[in-house]
Amino acid sequence: MSYGKVDDYSNSAQNSTQNLMPQGGYQQQYGAPAYPPQGHPQHQYGQQQQQYNQYNQYQQNPQQYQPQPYAAPYNAPNYQQQNYPPPQAPPPQQGSGEKFAKTSKYKDLWAAIVFLLTMAAFAVCVVRGLTSLKFAKNNTGVTNPENNNAGNEFVVPPPADLGGILAASVGTGFVLSVLYFVAMQKFAGKLIKVSMVLNVLVLAALAAYYAYQRQFAATIIMVLILGITAFFLWSCRSRIPLAKIVLKTVTKVTGQYPATLFAGFMALVLIAIFNALWLASFAGMMQYFETNNSGNGLRYLTIVFMLFALYYASQVISNVVHVTVSGLFATYYFMGQPGGPQGKVTIPIKNPTAASAKRALTTSFGSICFGSLVIAILQTIRAMLRMASQEAAQDGNVVGALCAACAGCCLGIIEGLIEYFNKWAFVQVAVYGKDYITAAKDTWRLCKTRGIDAIINDQLIGTVLGIGGLVVSFICGFVAFLYVRFSDNIPNNALHYAVFIILAVFLGASEFFVLSNVIDSGATATFVCLAEDPAALQRTKPELYEAIRAVYPQVAYPGV
């Protein structure tokens, strides 16, 4: 079975600014007749001109349109009038999911080479740093753990207590993350509304706290943020039904393909290992420069490179997972077939998550490295500006410190915008296998036509995820507090409470971070697919399409 027509559609979709709906490519791949696009001669279809006029009439009078199941958007035979259902698609051949990558050509190969060279240079720094790393000897002795007045000296608890508090924190975070995931699937609409209210209440509590502390500048800023947030959420209340459907769909697909969560977990582990290795090698490199009396120029150059490598690797790892998850959701969107076990939509591909990860790590890896490189450069410059601001402040140069801080603030805004833009551009990379520049151009086109809808949908779902992370982290911290409070081997002082509570909060937030990233990537990919090709959803999942069209009529006008 050939997917050449799909590639033709993908190429034409990139060059067209008037109509983004497919022109027969997807219908042909499933065995249905291929219909000519608008403007082609009608040689073999007697009824099609009449139906084409009906479609134009629908475009001019959308309020008179009555949705019909399986209604094809382009000159398709009206199956409902002929009183028999549309032909069922034969199962695609093994590996047909590769249609999302139009060619096997590697995109932005130069960026992948830059990343590999960066990691090779970082490996050299790791070897030098670890061989130069020396640990200070502990001559303070061991403090009696039973002494609850140990002052500010931290006492490592026995292995049983240390393992117990870690197990309690990790177990609590896991259970709460699973429960919140189920709640998002079962009560998506109510959870969105509750999260909106809680978001406003949290900001109000922060404003009240700053006012109580007589920090009036911070109070004014928080009140402004509170007002803007409340106005935005109130204005977006009519968009809750769409966010509800998208959130329920994404959680359903995630539950059906848990390999997406495994991909997020692996990214978290890789980032943690890389960060630990970076800290050890960075400390070793600083000790190396101190013992060898190296010049400041080489030292600063090493600091800049180490920061760049840290940001670059973290961005690439995170974006690989984002592209992997987005590819899985695009596969579900375009190739999902209803009628599976227990009414599930099935994908006729073996291990679709692995297939998406393969594309992310091969043909699309260069595009991922390209987009990550832009963010890593901005983050490195911001870090250097912060260092310059601190040094200027220590030297008493108020003007220099202020200028560096303002420049860093402006750069942070630019970085945030580009990072948000990248999230949508990488979906184009995942779905169509585009290079980064082409994906960025098409993302900008999408922003001009669906930008407000995308931002609102993203913020509503993001509010749910943010409140969920806050709740999970808070409860994990409270569990750690109780463990320290009732433990006989851990001193009950502020230092030990702070250390273990912070550790528990970090572990709980990290566990929920895996889930929230997968949900966020899935929601982004679903919206992009829906905005660019609603006909695919109408064909493969007509009930879901009609539910979305009922709350989001713009889906019927992909070019508007």
Dist CA 154 CA 370 (whole Å):
44
- The mean per-residue pLDDT over the stretch 330-341 comes to 76
CA angle 279, 280, 283 (to 5 degrees): 85
Tell how far CA 12 is from the center of its chain. 28
pTM of the entire structure?
0.73
User: Residue 345: CB partners within 8 Å, gap ≥ 6?
Assistant: 332, 336, 337, 338, 540, 541
Q: How does residue 23 score in pLDDT terms, banded at 50, 70 and 90?
A: very low
Q: For the beta carbon of residue 79, count every other beta carbon within 10 angstroms.
A: 16
- The mean per-residue pLDDT over the stretch 316-330 comes to 92
Are 250 and 526 spatial neighbours (Cβ–Cβ below 8 Å)?
yes
According to the model, what pLDDT value does residue 291 have? 82
| Choice among 57-66, 448-457, 532-541 with the minimum mean pLDDT | 57-66
User: Residue 299: CB partners within 8 Å, gap ≥ 6?
Assistant: 286, 289
Dist CA 395 CA 546 (whole Å):
65
- The mean per-residue pLDDT over the stretch 182-194 comes to 87
Are 24 and 37 spatial neighbours (Cβ–Cβ below 8 Å)?
yes
According to the model, what pLDDT value does residue 343 have? 62
According to the model, what pLDDT value does residue 142 have? 44
CA angle 260, 424, 371 (to 5 degrees): 90
- The mean per-residue pLDDT over the stretch 291-307 comes to 85
User: Residue 73: CB partners within 8 Å, gap ≥ 6?
Assistant: 21, 55, 535, 538
Q: Is the pLDDT of residue 30 over 80?
A: no
User: Residue 321: CB partners within 8 Å, gap ≥ 6?
Assistant: 263, 264, 266, 267, 517, 518, 521
DSSP class per residue in 85-139? PPPPPPPPPTTGGGGGSS-SPPSSHHHHHHHHHHHHHHHHHHHHHHHH--PPP--
Average pLDDT score, the chain:
76
What is the tens place of the pLDDT at every residue in 340-389? 666 677 777 888 889 899 999 999 999 999 999 999 999 999 999 998 88
Dist CA 480 CA 185 (whole Å):
29
Q: Is the pLDDT of residue 144 over 60?
A: no
Q: Is the pLDDT of residue 416 over 50?
A: yes
What per-residue string of b and e applies to 44-78 under the rule 16 or more CB within 10 Å gives b?
eeeebeebbeebeebeeeeeebeeeeebbbbbbbe
Written as six digits, the tokens of 370 are 């390209």
Q: How does residue 313 score in pLDDT terms, banded at 50, 70 and 90?
A: very high
| Choice among 25-39, 46-60, 370-384, 535-549 with the minimum mean pLDDT | 25-39
According to the model, what pLDDT value does residue 341 have? 66
What is the tens place of the pLDDT at every residue in 426-442? 998 988 888 999 988 88
